[in-house]
Amino acid sequence: MASGQLSRAEALACSGCRHACHVMLYADTKAQLFGRIPIKHIILMQMRFDGLLGFPGGLVNPSKETLESGLTRELSEELGLALPISVEDHVDSCFAPASSSSSSHLITHFYVKKMDEEQIREVERAAASTATDHGLEVLGMIRVPLYTTKGGGGLASFLSHSFIGSARSQLVDAMLRFNLVTPGELHKALTHSLKTHAHTKQDLEAALALMEERRKRF
Ligand code: AMP
Ligand code: MN
Across 164-176, average pLDDT: 97
Query: Mean pLDDT across the chain, nearest whole number?
Result: 94
Ion ligand 2: protein residues whose beta carbon lies under 5 Å: 58
- 171-204 pLDDT per residue, tens: 999 999 999 999 999 999 999 999 888 889 999 9
Query: Do residues 72 and 25 touch, judged by C-beta distance below 8 A?
Result: no
Helix H or strand E encompassing 184:
helix 183-217
Q: 215 or 43: whose pLDDT is higher?
A: 43
Q: What does the alpha-carbon distance between residue 67 and residue 49 come to, in Å, rounded to a whole number?
A: 23
Which residue, among 196, 134, 137, 211, has the nearest Cα to 162 in the 3D structure? 196
Q: Is 93 exposed, middle or buried (0-12, 13-18, 19+ CB in 10 A)?
A: buried
Does the structure show a pLDDT above 60 at 2? Answer: no
Pocket of ligand 1 (CB under 6 A): 20, 22, 54-55, 57-59, 96, 108, 164-167, 170
Query: Do residues 80 and 126 touch, judged by C-beta distance below 8 A?
Result: yes
Instruction: Give, for ligand 1, the residue of 44, 106, 164 to mutate: max count of ligand atoms closer than 8 Å to Cβ.
Output: 164
Cα-to-centroid distance, 140 and ligand 2 (Å): 12
Neighbours of 162 (CB within 10 A): 11
Atom of ligand 1 nearest to the CA of 57: 3
φ, ψ of residue 212 in degrees (nearest 5): -65, -35
Helix (H, G, I), strand (E, B) or coil at 163: strand
- 74-100 pLDDT per residue, tens: 999 999 999 999 999 999 999 886 666
pLDDT at 217: 86
- 105-137 pLDDT per residue, tens: 899 999 999 999 999 999 999 999 999 999 999
Q: What does the alpha-carbon distance between residue 143 and residue 10 come to, in Å, rounded to a whole number?
A: 33
Which domains does the chain possess?
Answer: 5-216 (3.90.79.10)
Residue nearest ligand 1's atom 5 by CA: 58
- 47-57 pLDDT per residue, tens: 999 999 999 99
Q: Is 46 exposed, middle or buried (0-12, 13-18, 19+ CB in 10 A)?
A: buried
Helix (H, G, I), strand (E, B) or coil at 62: coil
Cα-to-centroid distance, 137 and ligand 2 (Å): 7
